[in-house]
Amino acid sequence: MATSKTLDDLFYETLKDIYYAERQIVKALPKMARGAQDPKLKAAFQTHREETEGQIERLKQIFEILGKRAQGKTCDAIEGILSEGEEILDEFKGTPALDAGLLAAAQAVEHYEISRYGTLRAWALQLGMKDVAKLLDETLQEESSTDELLTNLAEGAVNAAAKKAA
């Protein structure tokens, strides 16, 4: 007979998933920054790398609060999203559409993170972990702000520059 799984178990497994994802993202951001042509986009990737390092530290705090070792669990979703970003870097290198593609890939990452952190925060509240929910909410707010920044960059200049060159 299978062991009964609880929301606590699901929370912990999802926490390991996002911890893995953040560690992969922090490795990918410098390459995206180097590939970006628009100076504002390049700066956004660099800033988000620093922010992601802080988010990883927050996740470590959560593991500590739970009395668990900080460990990741392979996240196929983030692997796929980052792989698509790599393809864009390779296939559109040196073209006017590169930055628009990088922005789209970055927003796919942000939307994944927003989904995960929103879910984890809701579960933490349900489980009575207010201190954990607060830490997750800090990260959720940062991810939402980054997504908004990327949207503004895309709509303000990057997409138009990609179209103009066509």
Rounded Cα gap, residues 51 and 42, in angstroms: 14
Q: Where are the domains of the chain?
A: 7-164
Q: What is the pLDDT of residue 87?
A: 96
**CA angle, residues 111, 118, 140, in degrees to nearest 5:** 70
- 153 close to 103: Cβ distance less than 8 angstroms: yes
Which residues of the chain register pLDDT less than 50? none
pLDDT in tens, 26-65: 999 999 999 999 999 999 999 999 999 999 999 999 999 9
Q: Is the Cα dihedral 126, 132, 135, 136 positive or negative?
A: negative
pTM of the model as a whole? 0.93
Q: Residue 157 burial (CB < 10 Å; 0-12/13-18/19+)?
A: middle
CATH number for region 7-164: 1.20.1260.10
